[in-house]
Structure formats: C-alpha cells, structure tokens
Amino acid sequence: METGIESLLERVEKPARYIGGETGSVVKEDHSLRVVLSYPDVYEIGTANQAVQIIYSLINNHTGAWAERAYCPWPDMSELMRAEGVPLFSLESWKPVREADFWGITLQHELTYTNILEMLDLAGVPLRSEDRGEDDPVVFAGGPCASNPHPVAAFFDFIIVGDGEQVMPGLISLCELEKGTPRKQMLEKLAEMDGVFVPAFPRQVTRAVAEELDYELIPARPIVPSMHSVHDRAALEIMRGCTRGCRFCMAGNWYRPVRERPMEEVCRAVNSMIAGTGYEEASLSSLSTTDYSAIQETLAGLAQSNPNLTISLPSLRVDPAAIKLLGLTSQRKGSITLAPEAGSQRLRDVINKQVTGEDIQEAITEAFRGGRTTVKLYFMIGLPTETEADLQGIIDIATAARRIGRSEAASPGRVQINVSVASFVPKAHTPFQWFGMNGREELEKKQEYLRRNMPRKQIKLSVHDLMPGMVESAIARGRDVTADAIEAAWRAGARFDAWTEKFDFSAWEKGFAAVGSTVEQEATRPFTLDAELPWDDIDSRVEKDFLIDEKKKADRAQITLDCRWGDCSDCGVCEGGIRMTTCK
Amino acid sequence: MNFNYQMRFSKTGRARFIAHLDTLSCLMRAIRRAGFEFALTQGMRPKPVLSLAMPLGVGVEGEDEICDFSLQQRAPLTELAKKLGSELPEGMELKSVGPSFDRTKSASRVQSVSYRIELAGAPAGLSEAAGRYNGESAIVLLRKRPKGDKEVDIKKYVRQVELSEGDADPQGITFDMAVTSEGTGRPDEIIGALSGICGEDIRISRIVRTSIVIKEEATPVPARPGHNGRATYRGKRR
C-alpha cells in the first residue's frame, strides 16, 4: 500500500496533504482500538479544526485507544485513488481507514456532508449504516450539526450529541469492553449511553454537557501541519457557550451555558502550546472572546510572558471597549471585522443582537483611531420581518463608516469599507427554527437593492452566492429523507460544496428531485409553532417553551437580556452541576 | 548583535513532499520549539532570519541541505544540536549545526549541486545515451513557461552524467549541475534529455540531491555597486 500511495503523491497537487508525520501527531504501537478521526474537507482546512484536535489528544493521551486522522482527498487525489484502487488511508499509519475499529467524522457545517459520502466511498465502507457488516468500522459523528442529526443519520452508526469530551472516555471504555461484540448488539449498548444517538435504535437523547472545561484535556502539543493551513497558529478555547441570545445563532443557543476557563489556566496553556508548537501566534477562541471575564488581564499577562507572541481574537463584538482591547494584542494593523448583522435598530432587536447604532459608530471610530484602514462589516439579509428600511440601514451604516474613516483615519484616502452580505439560514434549536428561509427571488431582489443603492467609492460590497446558502438551509432543518437527497446529490457529482469553484447547484437540484422536492421548497419551509419538528428527539437542554417565547418576542421586536449581566432568562439549561461558570 | 548558525540536514522519505516555503516554516518552528529565539530582520514587518541555500523541488529528496539562521543569543552548540535534532518533523534529520562566520548567505553563493537519480528500470540504450550526452557540445531544450517558452542549453549546466553500474543494468545516474547567475537546470530536464536520446522512457524511483557546493566567501568583501547600478561611496567602514 505504501508504494502505491507514494506513486500517487508524485502526481498530485500539494502532496504534503497526505504524508502525515507532523509534529504532534501520534503513533501508538500498542493500542486497544484503532480510531480514525476526520474533518470532511481537505487537509489544510481540516487540520485547523479544534474539535478534532481535542478528541485526538483525548483519545491518545487519556485512553488505551489510538486516534489517527484522515481528511477528504482533493479531487485530483481521489481520482487517482479510484483509478489505482488505493482506498482512503489514515495519515499516521498509511493503513486503510476501512480496517479501523471506529471512524469519527465531525459535522461542522452542512456543506461538508457530501464529502462524508465521498470519504466513505473512497474508504470502501458502505455509505449507509444498514449496509455495513461486522468487518466495517463503526462510523460515528459529532460536532455542532449533530443538533439535527437526521439529514445524515442514515450514514452513521451512532452520533454524539453535545460536548464530545464528556462522552468520549466512557464510550472508549465501553467499546474496549465490547470489542468483538456483534455490531448490532454493540449499537444497542451504545444507545443506552447519555449523549449518544443511535439511528438504528432511536430514542430521545439529551445533549451531553461538560460541567467545566478540563485543563487536562487541552491539547498541549497540538499537531503542527507540515504545510500551510488556514489557521497557522495555536488555538485555545478559553470559553464555551455564549448567552448573548442572538436568536439566529445556532451555537449561542446550543452550547449553553457559558463555561470560562480560569485565567491562570489560559495563560499556562497558551505558553505550553507555544512552546510545544513553535507558533508565533495564538488565538483565544470562543463564541464571543471579548465577553471572557478576564480578557484584559489575560491579554496583559500573555503580552508580559511572551512579548513576541501575536494574539488573535476571533469573534469580536461590535463594542468600542472590545476594539480597544486589540491595542493590547500587538496584532497587525490591517483590517478589522465587525458584525452588526442587521441594518436597523428594529431588526437588531428582532434578532436580539444587542448593539446600538452608537455602539457601531463608536466601534468604527475606535478602529480607525487605532490605526486601521479597512473595516469589514458583516450583515445578513432575509432575516424574519425584514423590510426595505432594514436594507437601507445596511447602506446607511456603510456610508457612516466611510464618513468616520475619512475623518478619523490617519490617511483618509486609504480608507476602505468592505461590506459582506450573507443570507440568513434558519437553524434547528434556535428561536428562528420555525421560519423558512426567504425564497430565491426575494433574496435576489434584496441583493439587487443593495447593489443598486450602495455607494461605490471606498465601499466594496460583496454579496454571498445564494445557492450554497439555500442548500445549507434545505439540509439544516432537514429530515431523515434529506439523507436520500444528499446521497443523490453526491452521486450527481456534488462535493466540496463549501468551495465556490466546486459548488455545483445542478447536482443539488438532482439530489432533491430524487426525493420529489426542490432545494428551494426545503429551504423555505416554515413550521407552525405547534408542529412536530424533525429534531424534537434531540433535547438541547434549552426548553422549547423558551424558544417559543423568544420567537414571539422577536415578532414584537422585543429584546431579552444576557443572563450573564441580567436576570436569568429561564432557558432551562442550568440544572444540577450544569451552570454558568465565569473565571471572576 | 546576532549570532549566525548553519545547519545541515536531510529531507528524505515522505518529507520530500513538503514544499519549499513549508520547509522554511517547519525549520523555524523546530528552532522555536527547541527553545531558541530568532534574530529578526529589519523593517516594517520583522521576520526571523532563516534561509535555505537552495529550494528543493517537491518530491526531490535532499541528503545534505544547508540552512542559515541567526539567533538573538549565543547557543551552546551541543544543546543546540541535541534540541534541534529532536524537534525536526518526521523525515527531516539534523546532520550538523555550527556557528557561521560568513557575511553573506549561502543562498547567494551556490556554485553547483549534485544529484543521484535512482532508477526503477533502465532502458537498454541508457549507457550509450549517456555517452552521447557527454559527447555533445550543446543540448537545447524548450522550457515551457507561462510568459513564453524559452530555449535552454542544459549542457551549460550539466557537462556530463555518470551511470552507477549494478550487477548488469545501470542502477542510477549521477551528475553535478552548475548554478550560475544566468540560472541552472532541473534534474527532470536531464532525465528528459537522456530519455530523448534513448527514444524510451527512463523510469525513476528516487531523485536525490546529494550535495550543495557553496563558493568560499572572497575576503575582504569587494566594494559592490549600489542598487542603482552605480558604485556608491558609503563612508569609511568602522
């Protein structure tokens, strides 16, 4: 097999994607089980994913099993693999993934789903759980999109719902114990575990929640890719969960409650990750990093211990104080991204994005005064209750940003405002799950309005393609039958759908036609509040009544305060040991 | 004050697929993991001072590659060798590391490189082809480039090739390739030329760069013309 792979590598683009042997990768000669972990996209995207890193290091450092990795081969490679009969192999051992005991694939977003099928097919593993035999690996999933597992349920033997590190140790122990048990019996046992959804034995599953972020589980020596990856930096999750309560946000509603890591642990972990990887940049990641209680002290502490380290803060709030924080990070002064999400105060109240017009103006002012020349503004169109006034609001904010830039920036001529506009995609387990996506025609009209009316000088408008969002929407709130559409789309050639140049809408049209529907019909379907939802068997721990209340408040443009600073909003998540833990 | 070092390392096996820029990152990270701090370049965006004598093509192995780098502090040599040796990624091995007293980078003084091509199957006429290659005064190839193809006489760079004989068939081809201010050749061009003479494909199992020959630094450094082509007077050197 080795020489077979090498001969392929001589002929493909970026062969370093497939060589393994990276610093931090693990080869475990003695192991109880062989597990392969996958992110269903190409290597340089997949290696940047923290979830795979966390589970990889958990399995390798804390259990007797061996975790390897496999990513989705780029089409030039998969073509050669098929032509020469080389099955999908893991990077660490260059052994077929098919021969592993378990194969876990992370569900990070819907447009990676066809790559799951591509990888199963390349591995020579039957696509559907029901067709797999005793010799096939047990294929499982996890990640945020497990919140609605139904569209991919047919392809998996089991699906972890919630925090993987909470489930994984018990799961590995059980699987070690049950090694050799017939598949069906094994799955029956797994179905009894908390946080595990087994499509063959469906039942109500409650999301698994880690009460705190365990220091011991931080990948202290994460894998350092041997080739350029999308995030060439050490990444540490400093906080999980966000209770800002944005009504469109899947992660904010799913990963409750807020669990902050103690500041001392953050500093210690960053230092050890930097020493263990040789990176010059560390990212403090979370859903809203500037909400971390001790962010200022942490940045100051890190700057003191590592004067040459660049700290990057993803997910900045539109908040002048947050922008000021950037001054502490010695981050390169290029552009800064702010996400007001909606153009008018009314619509921002509808979506519960608690940012005022003054906040936006002050944040932009602060960004330009801080030496930046480019401000990127991110908006959504197609939000529930949206009117033309809300679209005009987007234009007004962009125009105001340009005016502020011209008066505040050191070189007014170089000021650039980049306005990025995506279409709202309703997600399961959010207060907006009952809304359908806007139809194609309606969204096209809205895009056209922006294109026609947005001033051009020093403002660059980029509008996301509609159709990938439509497909995402059609899958996100999908049902079991959606799996047939995904498989049919893959058979029609859909893969790497998140890549603009690879996205093939006609394949998706064929896919949904195969189940007697269309992408648009699925994407735009609303649900009534009393309807049974396909994902009702997944209990996110957020009460449905809370989501219904939030939906009704949205209809009235009424906000709900963040329970971190305001009263408890009774979402139902905090229970027993599960509660908000802040580091201050 | 910077402290300059030179390391020699090999990059073989699967590591041959790591591209040039990624190799630089791998080396930089290895040096940082080993606990040493880079000297930084001057300018708006300071970068670590590290360079390779010559890029290695993707898929080509290197047995004795040269890397120059500068540190902020003097590093104890045994410690440097030990720590650095254990931090290089799989397939890259430290051969030696020591202080460097050269004023210019190795990259600007590469004189020639040597290759060994290991064969998976040699055509019958290879020995004769090698003889004919060595006898020709010029062999002109067409180098395909996006900006228009260019004719190159590869004999200017590789004067002769040698075959290492196995039991019966040639096992490998070795040659030295000159690196000049006008350019140099590529190992696959030499294989291509030999295949052309044979009239048959030469199947290769490995391409290995066995050494890089660096020109000695002339001392003292001669006055060099300024960037605008005129000699500039810079005052007395202190």
The reply to whether residue A227 touches residue B18, judged by beta carbons under 8 angstroms, is yes
Residues B14 and B40 in one domain: yes
The 10s digit of each residue's pLDDT in A343-362 is 999 999 999 999 999 999 99
Residues B93 and B116 in one domain: no
CA distance linking residue A395 with residue B224, whole number of Å: 57
- A281: nearest CA partner in chain B: B29
A167's tokens: 């489930």
Residue B221 pLDDT grade (very low, low, confident, very high; cuts 50, 70, 90): low
CB of B19 within 8 Å of a chain A CB? The answer is yes
Higher pLDDT among residues A290 and A136, named by residue: A136
Residue A277: which of B33, B45, B90 has the nearest Cβ?
Answer: B33
A55 in a structural domain: yes
CA distance linking residue B90 with residue B7, whole number of Å: 17
Q: To the nearest whole angstrom, how far is the Cα of A168 from the nearest Cα of chain B? A: 29
Provide the pLDDT for residue B170. 65
Contacts of B44 in chain A (CB under 8 A): none
What is the three-class DSSP state of A160?
A: strand
Lowest mean pLDDT among A101-105, A461-465, B18-22, B118-122: B118-122
Residue among A1, A10, A19 with most chain B CBs within 10 A, to mutate: A19
Q: To the nearest whole angstrom, how far is the Cα of A334 from the nearest Cα of chain B? A: 12
Residues B59 and B136 in one domain: no
Percentage of chain A exceeding pLDDT 70: 99
Residues B115 and B195 in one domain: yes
Provide the pLDDT for residue A502. 96
The reply to whether residue B29 touches residue A277, judged by beta carbons under 8 angstroms, is yes
Q: Which domain holds residue A69?
A: 2-205
- Which whole number is the average pLDDT over B184-188? 93
- A331: nearest CA partner in chain B: B45
Provide the pLDDT for residue A162. 97
A255 pLDDT above the threshold of 50: yes
Residue among B14, B72, B207 with most chain A CBs within 10 A, to mutate: B14
Residues B127 and B206 in one domain: yes
Residue A227: which of B22, B45, B90 has the nearest Cβ?
Answer: B22
The 10s digit of each residue's pLDDT in A199-216 is 999 999 999 999 999 999
CATH number at residue B55: 3.30.70.580
Provide the pLDDT for residue A336. 85
A440's tokens: 């194609």
Residues B74 and B140 in one domain: no
Which regions of A256-317 does DSSP assign to beta strands (E)? 259-260, 281-285, 310-312
Contacts of B89 in chain A (CB under 8 A): 21-23, 224, 226
Provide the pLDDT for residue A332. 58
B48 in a structural domain: yes
Whose tokens are 């890549």? That residue is A499
- Which whole number is the average pLDDT over B154-176? 85
The reply to whether residue B26 touches residue A226, judged by beta carbons under 8 angstroms, is yes
CA distance linking residue A154 with residue A365, whole number of Å: 51
B219 pLDDT above the threshold of 90: no
Interface of A with B (CB under 8 A): 6, 9-10, 14-16, 18-23, 224, 226-228, 232, 275-280, 308, 332
The reply to whether residue A228 touches residue B21, judged by beta carbons under 8 angstroms, is yes
Residues B199 and B115 in one domain: yes
CB of B68 within 8 Å of a chain A CB? The answer is no
CATH number at residue B180: 3.30.70.3190
Contacts of A18 in chain B (CB under 8 A): 17
Cβ(A489)–Cβ(A467) under 8 Å? no
Residues B97 and B115 in one domain: no
B124 pLDDT above the threshold of 90: no
Residue A330 pLDDT grade (very low, low, confident, very high; cuts 50, 70, 90): low
A304 in a structural domain: no
Q: Which domain holds residue B83?
A: 3-101
- Which whole number is the average pLDDT over A105-119? 98
A183 in a structural domain: yes
Residues B95 and B171 in one domain: no
The 10s digit of each residue's pLDDT in A374-390 is 999 999 999 999 999 99
The reply to whether residue A19 touches residue B18, judged by beta carbons under 8 angstroms, is yes
A344 in a structural domain: no
What is the residue-averaged pLDDT of chain B? 88
What is the residue-averaged pLDDT of chain A? 95
CB of B33 within 8 Å of a chain A CB? The answer is yes
Residue B167 pLDDT grade (very low, low, confident, very high; cuts 50, 70, 90): low
Helix axes A505-513, A482-491, angle to 10 degrees: 130
Domains held by chain B: number: 2
Provide the pLDDT for residue B121. 78
Provide the pLDDT for residue B133. 95
- Which whole number is the average pLDDT over A406-429? 95
CATH number at residue A61: 3.40.50.280
- Considering all CA atoms of chain A, what is the largest pairwise distance in Å, rounded to the nearest integer? 71
The CA-CA-CA angle for residues A297, A299, A303, to 5°, reads 115
Residue A316 pLDDT grade (very low, low, confident, very high; cuts 50, 70, 90): confident
B233's tokens: 């007077």
Q: Are strands B203-214 and B61-71 parallel, antiparallel or unpaired?
A: parallel
B86 pLDDT above the threshold of 50: yes
Provide the pLDDT for residue A322. 80
Residues B94 and B127 in one domain: no
Could you write out the DSSP letters of every residue in A430-448? STTTTSPPPPHHHHHHHHH
Provide the pLDDT for residue A327. 72
A288's tokens: 């809203």
Contacts of A16 in chain B (CB under 8 A): 17-19, 22, 58
Cβ(A208)–Cβ(A240) under 8 Å? no
Nearest in space to A62 (alpha carbons), one of A146, A166, A144: A166
Provide the pLDDT for residue A531. 96
Provide the pLDDT for residue B144. 86
Q: To the nearest whole angstrom, how far is the Cα of B16 from the nearest Cα of chain A? A: 9
Higher pLDDT among residues A456 and A317, named by residue: A456
Domains held by chain A: number: 1
Residue B19: which of A10, A16, A277 has the nearest Cβ?
Answer: A16
- Which whole number is the average pLDDT over A18-32? 96
Provide the pLDDT for residue B42. 86
Could you write out the DSSP letters of every residue in A32-88? S-EEEEEESS-HHHHTT-HHHHHHHHHHHHHSSSEEEEEEPPPHHHHHHHHHHTPPP
A162 in a structural domain: yes
Residue B17: which of A19, A22, A275 has the nearest Cβ?
Answer: A19
Residues B118 and B195 in one domain: yes
Provide the pLDDT for residue B238. 37
Q: To the nearest whole angstrom, how far is the Cα of A380 from the nearest Cα of chain B? A: 35
- Which whole number is the average pLDDT over B185-201? 92
The reply to whether residue A278 touches residue B29, judged by beta carbons under 8 angstroms, is yes
Cβ(A391)–Cβ(A397) under 8 Å? no
Q: To the nearest whole angstrom, how far is the Cα of A272 from the nearest Cα of chain B? A: 10
Q: To the nearest whole angstrom, how far is the Cα of B75 from the nearest Cα of chain A? A: 17
B99 pLDDT above the threshold of 50: yes
Lowest mean pLDDT among A264-273, A305-314, A316-325, A512-521: A316-325
- Which whole number is the average pLDDT over A1-22? 92
A79 in a structural domain: yes
- B35: nearest CA partner in chain A: A275
Provide the pLDDT for residue A128. 98
Residue B89: which of A22, A280, A332 has the nearest Cβ?
Answer: A22
B124's tokens: 């019958």
- Which whole number is the average pLDDT over A69-73? 98
C-alpha atoms less than 13 angstroms from C-alpha of A551 in its C-beta half-sphere:
21
ipTM of the complex: 0.91
Contacts of B22 in chain A (CB under 8 A): 16, 226-228
Residues B29 and B71 in one domain: yes
A520 pLDDT above the threshold of 70: yes
